[in-house]
Structure 1
Amino acid sequence: MSQKSITSFFKRTPKKTEEEDVEKEKLSPTSNLNKNGDVSEVTAQENGKRSKRSRSSSSETKSPEISSKESSPVKPEKKKKIKRQRIQSSESEPESPPKSPVEQADIKLVKSDDPPKTYDSPKSKKSKKQDKVLENKIKKEKTSPKSPKSPNKNNEKSKESPMSKFMVKVEKSDDSDKKNHDINKENKQNSVDNKTKLVAEVDYNPSKPKYHPINDACWSKGQEVPYLALAKTLEAIEATSARLKMVEILSNYFRSVIALTPEDLLPSIYLCLNKLAPAYHSLELGIAETYLMKAVARCTGRTLAQLRSAAQRGGDLGRVAQDARAGQRTMFAAPPLRVRKVFAALREIAALAGHDSVNKKIGKIQTLYVACRHSEARYLIRSLEGKLRVGLAEQSVLQALALACANTPPQAFAPGAPDPGPAQLDVASTMTPDAFKALVDELALTIKTTYCECPNYDLMVPVLLQHGVRALPDHCRLTPGIPLKPMLAHPSRGVHEVFTRFEKEQFTCEFKYDGERAQIHVPGDEAPRFADAAVFSRNQENNTSKYPDILRRLPALLKDSVTSCVLDCEAVAYDTEKKQILPFQVLSTRKRKDASEDQIKVQVCVFVFDLLYLNGKALVREPLEVRRQLLRDNFQEVEGEWKFAEGGDCSDEESVQRLLDAAVRASCEGLMLKALRGPRARYDIARRSHNWLKLKKDYLEGVGDTVDAVVLGAYRGRGKRAGLFGGFLLACREDDRYQSLCKIGTGFSDDDLKTLTDTLQQHVIDGPRNYYMYDASHAPDVWLAAASVWEVRCADLSLSPAHRAAIGLVDPERGISLRFPRFVRVREDKSPEQATSAEQLARMYLAQDQVKNSAKHLDHDDFY
């Protein structure tokens, strides 16, 4: 189409008036209705626009010139069709009338009465919302008046504004919100308060002054105790050196466990002692340090060489594992460790045996390790190693348990017990210091004595929690099958000292046999059950499989009057042909476990010297005179198999000297001197008591006793000893630490050095442990793990600035050392924990003639 024809078309076509547009829009079927049923002018106008565009689009395209010419008359129409203005002034949604002062007051009232904003879980929000809707429906049906039906519903709705609808809903739901808020306000506030009182696990501090067992704990009542709480407790104990403070810190942790989760007290005690079960169960982890390094390496991506080098520098694999875990990031965090779950996992690891058990153990260790937080990794790895190294001895743990039970009585929190009240959380605050100390001493003596007679926490802890400490002796008694810790003797330097100790008292002398302590248990009711008989060592280890020949001979020892018994004996290597005692070294060649009687070459004779239990009655509190008479009345000797300890009652030095000479001639070590009558003649379980004295032939030569020392290091030999270890660094024990005592290089034969070198090679480590106390000038060429115990004799004891043994007990800056030490033998029957202690060395030093200081402050008996 030409330009002229287009122009003429627009000239001929008249413009539509506004009235025609409105009329057309009214008649148009495409017009939309608004919410109130009215015709929307905006929609109609938009439809009109679309119709104009459709007509113009059917024609040919305008030229730019024509468009510019025709644009001027169209402009006024565009001004009339302002979309925003028509929407704002549209009558399809009429404006709500202005609010009256009453309605405005209602709005303000709603705002002021609105309950404080709280945050709930999605489930609680959903349930609350459903409850609110139901309440509003019921209330609306009951309270709202029935209005007459209006013929024009649309008009009524059109008069209501959205804001007024919202206000009606708010006002209706306001009463129900207030009720719900009032009902749950107190419970919510209490729950919030409890949450705010809970201490963060990483901030748990049992060493806090005026510790509160609930408010200062990092877990709530009934919740499993976090393993991090125990790790924080051990960390605080490790950071202090004062024994009383250690006991206080541990007792605070025990108090929280008793008050909140008493079920976790038993695993907590075992983990603090680094035990999994009673000693006679022989349940051990048996994990070498290399396997632990493998587990840590697999979890952290480090190599064995890196871990070994770091452990050598720091001397503590636990800290190395903690540092490695701290630098590790995981995509998904493992569930937090709990005390009871860690303890159960350690028991599972110890029980694994057989094919591929090592890899299974490493896998379980990895599972525990990846879940560790903060210091948990340090103490987990140390527990797996077998040593916590925090300075806690078993007697300290028992003392802490007694302190916790005195301050927070466990029976007050037993299931089914009445509300104990705040006074039972801190009994010390209700008593004078002297009265509370007396209470603690009483409970500590009860706990320690009961543990000596029944050394099984699995039996003691449930009774303690249910009935209290004072009920322990009634429920936990000496029982055949549960070994006791034996009574031990103090050394004596000469016959004259014996009469000083037993002045105006009767005592007896018995030969001291050079063998292995054997505690024989025979259970039974109406008759002895020999099939269940057992033999235990001085360490409470089960040696039943080591001595099948002893069990076979038991019926010959017991008379018909015996139904059950516990005997304290000494198993000695014996030559049945010559009828004489053989040295201890011969006995040590016997197979230690699962021995077959037909393959036994070294025969033993058992020397019975005490009777602890007979026919259902414990005899440990009876005097020795009574126990000895019952022993001889109910048991009988068998030549070469069973014998009573030889000896006799003495009243003067000459008789003691004669018996000592006889004992030496009989290949015995010396004499045991024991109180015969009176309260001092009882059997003191687990004590190194002054009521028993040992007098060895070696004591008369100098120091008064041999020393059982732990080997910490070795020096390479020169000359004739080239290729072997020629000297050794020895130490005494002080709780969980080892203090250097002396260097030793004499008393060894060539064969001894070869044997010792081969044996000690298995214990070589990369560097000294952090619990080795020594002077740098005495650092050995090769460091050894504290595993071997040697018996050493010396001329006397002296103070040394270079050694650390018993430092602070006798001299604040110098330790005790041995002068002219000489190797006697390897004590295979003793563990490093049973080596000579620093306190024993201090007593020995102060007992020397050349030392004038009194030793009264160290002269006391205690549990070991």
Structure 2
Amino acid sequence: MKRFAQAAQAIAETPSKLDKTGILGAYLRTLPEDDLACAARFFTGNPFAARDQRALALGGRTIVAAAQHMWGFTDADLSATYREHGDLGSALAPFVRPPQTLGLFVEPLTPATLKCRLDEIAAAAGKSAGKKRQLLCESILGACRSADEAKYVVKIMTGDLRIGLREGLVIDGIASAFDAAPGDVRRANMAAGDLGTVAVAAKHGTLSAIRVAYGAPIGFMLASPILFGSEYKELREGRWMVEDKYDGIRAQVHKDGERVRIFSRTLNDVAYSYPEVVRAVGTLEGSCILDGELVAQREGRVLPFRYLQARLQRKDVSEDLLAEVPVAFACFDILAYGDEFLLDEPLLERRARLAEILPSSSQLQLAPWSALEPDGSAEELHAAFEAARARGQEGLMLKRTDSPYLPGKRGKCWLKLKRELSTLDVVVVAVEWGHGKRAKVLSDYTFAVRDRHGKLQTIGKAYSGLTDAEIARLTPWFLEHRLPEHTQRQKARRHEIPVEPNVVLEVAFDIIQQSDLHESGFALRFPRIVRIRDDKPPSEVDTIERVRDIYRRMVDREGGA
């Protein structure tokens, strides 16, 4: 893992995507097959393949306990380095020491040997599982010979690599390493659900032999927002279709024979929460991968998202709950059928294929669509938008009819038209280090409103809306105005850094929902930072009374609680 760490550090230190893929490709090219497969997976930030549903079940406390046993540092020492770096791998790296008994760890740690020990951690079960995981973790950390090696091993174990290397760049790195076409590597990865398998196939020139692996989730194609009431210049080229934007949960359904899996945006299998959808999909002939939205629906009308919350992450769904909050899958795309991938087919043709195989039922529905007239007016689009809102939807989706399906991409071929519910002036009370290209800046902000006594109550977290320059300017200010750890709010996230409540933001949002995640009892859905309010003191941020008022008006508009 020494060379893995050297490559990862070099990748982290360059902002150039081209340089990142070049460094990665040069490293991968030198590896034997067993190390190549494991390293390719590790560079995605995950210990296992995407299609592998196993979890390490290795908490930060176990890693810290193993590190303390190996290297001998105090909790206060770790707190200081964690506040400085913001992730556990970087925080533990300064404490690396050679093991007292070198003979115990004569085998060098490689990607393949690390993967074997991670397999053992994932398999640990029974009463002594916790102790076994810690001992295995100690053996891994004890095999590390440098601070960087330990840092990246811990980052792999925590799934928090933070070197600005997304899966797409790993795909480009594999292509660079073995002179393969990036498109061929990407399609093979979508089929296999395992970049390790794909990397080995690229090395041997056998990418075309990889077939669709049902049960391996594919990255979702995403839509870019379009401003309501704008000039809609984006719609002037090409032909477009219009769909309702559902107020539900995006989901990808895999049917392979009799087995049905439902993957969320986080690529977790959530089929157990929606047994009526599983039964409906099970009636389809053949194997397929479908894209759509899970919605709460009664008598043909979509219910507000707050109803669907009662079904989230429920492993045991009672008959009463099934009757109280019935769920349907509104399907708007098909990604594979049998052994055939359809991603490169135009959307209009994918929609035609979908209509051929999808019988409509109360739990499985073909999402309706209409053509956007090329010479249509903004008024007509707004009328369609208002009609969608009247049906209980969030707004409209606008999709180019010739668009291929681009997993994990947010381009201009799919657009979402929504209208913000309102804005609030809030004050930042905690910050977190970002991810990817923002890994070295504080870009994630938890914010609060005032209660009637002036006490700050958190209501949400936002990480979009500000420019890189604004975030870069705020980061040193937040670091200089950190508060002691004991001042952290009761419901703080693990990586939150409490800060002095002085930075006021205006935040826009689409929905307010009741939630126990924040002290206010509410949470903003899809919050976006509109601007920094340098002109407003923290004492003048909005109140919880205004939040309740916006919530009441929203509920009244939706037709009651």
Interval of TM-score (by shorter of Structure 1 and Structure 2):
0.7 to 0.9
Equivalent residue in structure 2 for 1:604, among 311, 327, 348:
327
Name 1:660's counterpart in structure 2.
Answer: 385
Cα distance between partner residues in 2 of 1:320 and 1:240: 21
Q: Which has the higher contact order (CA 8 A, sep 6+)?
A: 2
1:250-261 equivalence runs, <5 A: 250-257=24-31, 261=32
Which blocks of at least 5 consecutive residues in structure 2 are unaligned? 462-473, 497-501, 516-524, 532-561
Cα distance between partner residues in 2 of 1:836 and 1:246: 31
Name 2:464's counterpart in structure 1.
Answer: none
For residue 626 of structure 1, report the CA deviation from its aligned partner.
2.4
Q: Kindly indicate whether the alpha-carbon contact (under 8 Å) linking 1:731 and 1:739 is maintained by their aligned counterparts in 2.
A: yes
**2:140 matches 1:356:** no
Equivalent residue in structure 2 for 1:486, among 220, 227, 239:
220
Name 1:382's counterpart in structure 2.
Answer: 155
* TM-score normalised according to structure 1 size: 0.51
Q: Residues 394 and 649 from structure 1, CA distance in 2 versus in 1: closer, same or farther, beyond 3 angstroms?
A: same
Name 1:366's counterpart in structure 2.
Answer: 138
1:702-717 equivalence runs, <5 A: 715=429
Greater Cα radius of gyration, structure 1 or 2: 1
For residue 492 of structure 1, report the CA deviation from its aligned partner.
0.8
Q: Residues 443 and 778 from structure 1, CA distance in 2 versus in 1: closer, same or farther, beyond 3 angstroms?
A: farther
Q: Residues 265 and 827 from structure 1, CA distance in 2 versus in 1: closer, same or farther, beyond 3 angstroms?
A: farther
* TM-score normalised according to structure 2 size: 0.76
Q: Kindly indicate whether the alpha-carbon contact (under 8 Å) linking 2:289 and 2:337 is maintained by their aligned counterparts in 1.
A: yes
**2:15 matches 1:282:** no
Q: Kindly indicate whether the alpha-carbon contact (under 8 Å) linking 1:267 and 1:339 is maintained by their aligned counterparts in 2.
A: yes
Q: Kindly indicate whether the alpha-carbon contact (under 8 Å) linking 1:746 and 1:823 is maintained by their aligned counterparts in 2.
A: no
Name 1:585's counterpart in structure 2.
Answer: 306
SS of equivalent residue, structure 1 residue 533: strand
Q: Kindly indicate whether the alpha-carbon contact (under 8 Å) linking 1:729 and 1:740 is maintained by their aligned counterparts in 2.
A: yes
Equivalent residue in structure 2 for 1:782, among 488, 509, 514:
488
The AA in structure 2 aligned to 1:229 is R
**2:29 matches 1:231:** no
Name 1:694's counterpart in structure 2.
Answer: 416
Cα distance between partner residues in 2 of 1:565 and 1:749: 54
The AA in structure 2 aligned to 1:656 is L
For residue 509 of structure 1, report the CA deviation from its aligned partner.
0.7
**2:261 matches 1:534:** yes
Which blocks of at least 5 consecutive residues in structure 1 are unaligned? 1-226, 407-441, 524-528, 716-727, 760-771, 789-801, 804-816, 829-834, 846-864
Name 1:462's counterpart in structure 2.
Answer: 200
Q: Kindly indicate whether the alpha-carbon contact (under 8 Å) linking 2:449 and 2:457 is maintained by their aligned counterparts in 1.
A: no
For residue 668 of structure 1, report the CA deviation from its aligned partner.
0.6
For residue 827 of structure 1, report the CA deviation from its aligned partner.
12
Name 1:625's counterpart in structure 2.
Answer: 348
Q: Residues 390 and 458 from structure 1, CA distance in 2 versus in 1: closer, same or farther, beyond 3 angstroms?
A: closer
Q: Residues 620 and 748 from structure 1, CA distance in 2 versus in 1: closer, same or farther, beyond 3 angstroms?
A: farther
SS of equivalent residue, structure 1 residue 659: helix
Cα distance between partner residues in 2 of 1:358 and 1:338: 24
Name 1:298's counterpart in structure 2.
Answer: 69
SS of equivalent residue, structure 2 residue 413: strand
Per-residue CA deviations over 1:243-272 (Å, capped at 9, x if unaligned) read 433333222211222xxx233101111222
Higher strand content, 1 or 2: 2
SS of equivalent residue, structure 2 residue 443: strand
Cα distance between partner residues in 2 of 1:262 and 1:616: 27
SS of equivalent residue, structure 1 residue 492: strand
Cα distance between partner residues in 1 of 2:70 and 2:495: 29
Cα distance between partner residues in 1 of 2:102 and 2:360: 72
Q: Residues 271 and 567 from structure 1, CA distance in 2 versus in 1: closer, same or farther, beyond 3 angstroms?
A: closer
Cα distance between partner residues in 1 of 2:450 and 2:176: 47
Cα distance between partner residues in 1 of 2:513 and 2:161: 26
Q: Residues 240 and 610 from structure 1, CA distance in 2 versus in 1: closer, same or farther, beyond 3 angstroms?
A: closer
Per-residue CA deviations over 1:529-558 (Å, capped at 9, x if unaligned) read 22x1211122322122222221122355x3
**2:253 matches 1:520:** yes
Q: Residues 748 and 447 from structure 1, CA distance in 2 versus in 1: closer, same or farther, beyond 3 angstroms?
A: farther
Q: Residues 619 and 268 from structure 1, CA distance in 2 versus in 1: closer, same or farther, beyond 3 angstroms?
A: closer
Name 2:40's counterpart in structure 1.
Answer: 269
Q: Kindly indicate whether the alpha-carbon contact (under 8 Å) linking 1:281 and 1:542 is maintained by their aligned counterparts in 2.
A: no
**2:26 matches 1:323:** no
Q: Residues 334 and 287 from structure 1, CA distance in 2 versus in 1: closer, same or farther, beyond 3 angstroms?
A: same
Q: Residues 621 and 392 from structure 1, CA distance in 2 versus in 1: closer, same or farther, beyond 3 angstroms?
A: closer
Name 1:549's counterpart in structure 2.
Answer: 276
Q: Kindly indicate whether the alpha-carbon contact (under 8 Å) linking 1:746 and 1:822 is maintained by their aligned counterparts in 2.
A: no
Q: Kindly indicate whether the alpha-carbon contact (under 8 Å) linking 2:399 and 2:414 is maintained by their aligned counterparts in 1.
A: yes
Cα distance between partner residues in 2 of 1:572 and 1:343: 39
SS of equivalent residue, structure 1 residue 600: helix
Per-residue CA deviations over 1:626-671 (Å, capped at 9, x if unaligned) read 22233223322223x2322234222112432221111111111100
Cα distance between partner residues in 2 of 1:643 and 1:823: 25
Cα distance between partner residues in 2 of 1:358 and 1:520: 34
Cα distance between partner residues in 2 of 1:774 and 1:445: 41
Name 1:125's counterpart in structure 2.
Answer: none
Q: Kindly indicate whether the alpha-carbon contact (under 8 Å) linking 1:518 and 1:571 is maintained by their aligned counterparts in 2.
A: yes
SS of equivalent residue, structure 2 residue 96: helix
Cα distance between partner residues in 1 of 2:70 and 2:93: 12
Per-residue CA deviations over 1:725-772 (Å, capped at 9, x if unaligned) read xxx55886543615436674349999xx87969x9xxxxxxxxxxxx9
SS of equivalent residue, structure 1 residue 274: coil
Q: Kindly indicate whether the alpha-carbon contact (under 8 Å) linking 2:105 and 2:143 is maintained by their aligned counterparts in 1.
A: yes
Q: Residues 379 and 621 from structure 1, CA distance in 2 versus in 1: closer, same or farther, beyond 3 angstroms?
A: closer
The AA in structure 2 aligned to 1:690 is K
SS of equivalent residue, structure 2 residue 242: strand
SS of equivalent residue, structure 2 residue 178: helix
For residue 302 of structure 1, report the CA deviation from its aligned partner.
4.0
The AA in structure 1 aligned to 2:313 is R
1:820-831 equivalence runs, <5 A: 820-821=507-508, 824-825=511-512
SS of equivalent residue, structure 1 residue 608: strand
Q: Kindly indicate whether the alpha-carbon contact (under 8 Å) linking 1:293 and 1:304 is maintained by their aligned counterparts in 2.
A: no
SS of equivalent residue, structure 1 residue 671: strand
Q: Residues 262 and 665 from structure 1, CA distance in 2 versus in 1: closer, same or farther, beyond 3 angstroms?
A: same
Name 1:122's counterpart in structure 2.
Answer: none
Higher helix content, 1 or 2: 1
Q: Residues 488 and 587 from structure 1, CA distance in 2 versus in 1: closer, same or farther, beyond 3 angstroms?
A: same
Q: Residues 836 and 548 from structure 1, CA distance in 2 versus in 1: closer, same or farther, beyond 3 angstroms?
A: closer
Cα distance between partner residues in 2 of 1:635 and 1:735: 41
Name 2:538's counterpart in structure 1.
Answer: none
Cα distance between partner residues in 2 of 1:729 and 1:356: 37
Cα distance between partner residues in 2 of 1:629 and 1:748: 53
Cα distance between partner residues in 2 of 1:394 and 1:239: 18
SS of equivalent residue, structure 2 residue 48: coil
**2:293 matches 1:566:** no
